[in-house]
Structure 1
């Protein structure tokens, strides 16, 4: 039974990574598509290649280690992991359907934490006893910090570029920025792969520990990162066109210069947080970067009504995912699955 459940959990984890890929594909391709540097098909192939390239470069898996410690192992079992994954996939598909660029990272973390907290209640403990505040607090802080870091870096990069290119011929400058946008889009896709694929690695690592396949502290089997990077790259190739429209045009009008600035800013921010092993949202980061770029023109260049709706989606993602996971875990207990 454990083996069958483990196979099911692994399959669901990879399905989540796949949904993460097509849900978050917009993060790295929205600007490059909206500026017509690449066609949508070319863009998803480009992004997927850089998603998978991360497998060959990143070997320390700090983000995966961070995610695996959000819920104390005493409160983690296969049903907790199962409920968390089902909740995360449900919220990912719901927000994708309505074209809302919410955070795949936070829905996974919220689902995992919510299921763990519900399990703590069944075990007669306080719900908050299940989660480690040492790991939860940085996640909550970076819900706010990541967009603002992206905004600041995007604003500064745009100002610097405008100053350097102030005497350039517009037509020549645009041609150069279209080339540079390929590089910046690739960097952002690489950062997306390193950051987001690792979150599911942490969940799968815990699943193997819960199934007693490996012991706590053991080296992560190599098939886990290979499978996760592959799944997220395949998901990216499927695209997420509803969210591309929101990210590429509804927040602010994007030119190739601004696309380079926004993507570079987001890649720098994600690289910084990945270095310290903090699982931040790619969606939040690139949205903040796009806003920062828009602010260099004027405050009214940013469509604040759209932006406020996005912020509300970000705020509710973790609690709703946690609630869904808690209900699913309770149903699994009631049905005796």
Structure 2
């Protein structure tokens, strides 16, 4: 029995490492993309800043990671490692399939769906109320980001010069780094925490997750950056800065409440809001609609795939007397 527990921990630990790299490829480019038209933050500097935030910010607060581990379901108890492994696997498959079909989506939303499906399929206690609350906040975040970005863009348009805009870009990017590390990025830590059987990720774990995330960002920057900075709106530097500030404030607010939200969703909503501040013609609505459709498909696909796999594995183990 002890050997099986150790094997489950090793497998989930390996999955956690892969998940951190994929998170970087999926999320890191999106975080850097909004400001690519301003030279205030070079990609290398941005990746270093993101890495530092992912190492240090969780040492102050891991509320969102605990939401993944305990509030959505009982993943800290028996069967939690197996269910978490299946949930992450399902999330990665769903994101890969949708991205390959030209529909980039939210990895965080896929993980929430995967955890829900895997928890139910494995027979773990899953809190329907907590899942519904997380989804409600996730649904609201892009709209809040859009509204905030519309306001910020109007203010920046009337109050700032291009030189000052660079300073706002630095502030906005720093805020984004903190927001991601306090919220969306903690989905990585939750997987490591379940693998290790701990209630809080220590400094070595946050450091490993951050380095793996940085490696994934280097790989995924060109693709993810192009999807957000060019496809959603005809972007100008002002739009990127407004989106950074608005999405950062939105995601930090959700982190304070312990609610996991997708930074890429918040950024996408903020870019649309910033574009609309100068007329809806700047928004490429077909591209925006494709992304929204992907979001809608992500959750049920994650629930269905993870639930099916978890139930099949559980029944197979029972049949084998494991």
Q: Work out whether the TM-score is over 0.5.
A: yes
Partners of 1:334 and 1:119 lie apart in 2 by: 9
Distance 1:151 1:92 in 2: 24
- The reply on whether 1:230 has 2:211 as its aligned counterpart is yes
**Gap change, CA 1:254 and 1:317, over 3 Å in 2:** same
- SS of alignment partner, residue 260 of structure 2: coil
What CA distance in whole angstroms lies between the structure 1 residues aligned with 2:168 and 2:158?
Answer: 17
Scaled by the length of structure 2, the TM-score of the pair is 0.87
Match of 1:156 in 2: 151
The CA distance in 2 between the partners of 1:220 and 1:119, in whole Å, is 25
Give secondary structure in 2 for the equivalent of 1:196. Answer: coil
Matched, 1:269 2:271: no
* Alignment match, 1:187: 175
* Cα distance in 1, alignment partners of residues 222 and 122 from structure 2: 37
1:300 aligns with 2:295: no
Q: Deviations over 1:194-235 (max 9, x none)?
A: 3223123223323344xxxx5xxx554443333323322322
Structure 2 residues not aligned, in runs of 5+: none
1:236 positional shift: 1.8
CA contact 1:24–1:101 (8 Å) conserved in 2: no
Does the Cα contact within 8 Å between 1:80 and 1:119 map onto a contact in 2? Answer: yes
In the TM superposition, residue 322 of structure 1 has moved relative to its aligned partner by 1.5
Task: Spell out the pairing of 1:312-323 with structure 2 (5 A cutoff).
Answer: 312-323=293-304
Contact 1:96 1:240 in 2 (8 A): no
In the superposition, the TM-score normalised over structure 1's length comes to 0.84
Report deviation, 1:182: 3.9
Choose from 36, 39, 51 the match for 1:37: 39
Map 1:1-337 onto structure 2 (within 5 A): 1-33=4-36, 35=37, 37=39, 42-43=42-43, 45-54=44-53, 55-58=55-58, 59-69=60-70, 70-73=72-75, 76-120=79-123, 130-165=125-160, 173-209=161-197, 218-333=199-314, 335-336=316-317
Residues matched between the structures, number: 311
Unaligned runs of at least 5 residues, structure 1: 121-128, 166-172
Distance 1:193 1:237 in 2: 18
The offset of 1:191, in angstroms, is: 1.9
